[in-house]
Structure 1
Amino acid sequence: MADPHERNGENERKPGSADDADLSARLKSLDARISQASAHRAESEPRARPTSDSSALGQAFRLSAEFVAGVAAGGILGWIVDRLFGTSPWGLIVCLILGFCAGMLNLMRAAGMVKSARYDDKR
Structure 2
Amino acid sequence: MGDRDKADDQKSSGLPEASEAELSGRLHGLGSALDKVQAERRAEEKASKVVDRTSSSAGMTLAFRLGSEFVAGVLVGAGLGWGLDRLLGIAPWGMIVFMLLGFGAGIVNMMRAAGEGGRKTPPKGGA
TM-score using structure 1 length: 0.58
Shift of 1:52: 2.3
In 1, the alpha carbon distance for the partners of 2:33 and 2:56 equals 37
Q: Determine whether 1:79 maps to 2:104.
A: no
Aligned residue among 30, 38, 46 for 2:34: 30
In 2, the alpha carbon distance for the partners of 1:98 and 1:90 equals 12
Shift of 1:122: 4.8
Any gaps of 5 or more consecutive residues in structure 2? 1-19, 45-50, 117-122
Letter in 2 for 1:87: I
Q: Determine whether 1:97 maps to 2:82.
A: no
Shift of 1:22: 6.0
Deviations along 1:14-60, whole A, 9 cap, x unmatched?
A: xxx9687665333123235x26x85xx9xxxxxx78x5221221111
Larger fraction in helix: 2
Q: Determine whether 1:69 maps to 2:58.
A: no
Q: Any idea what SS the aligned residue of 2:91 has?
A: coil
Deviations along 1:70-118, whole A, 9 cap, x unmatched?
A: 00000000100110111111111111000000010111111118xxxxx
TM-score using structure 2 length: 0.56
Any gaps of 5 or more consecutive residues in structure 1? 1-16, 42-47, 114-118
Letter in 1 for 2:29: A
Q: How many residues are aligned here?
A: 92
CA RMSD of aligned residues (A): 3.7
Aligned to 1:56: 59
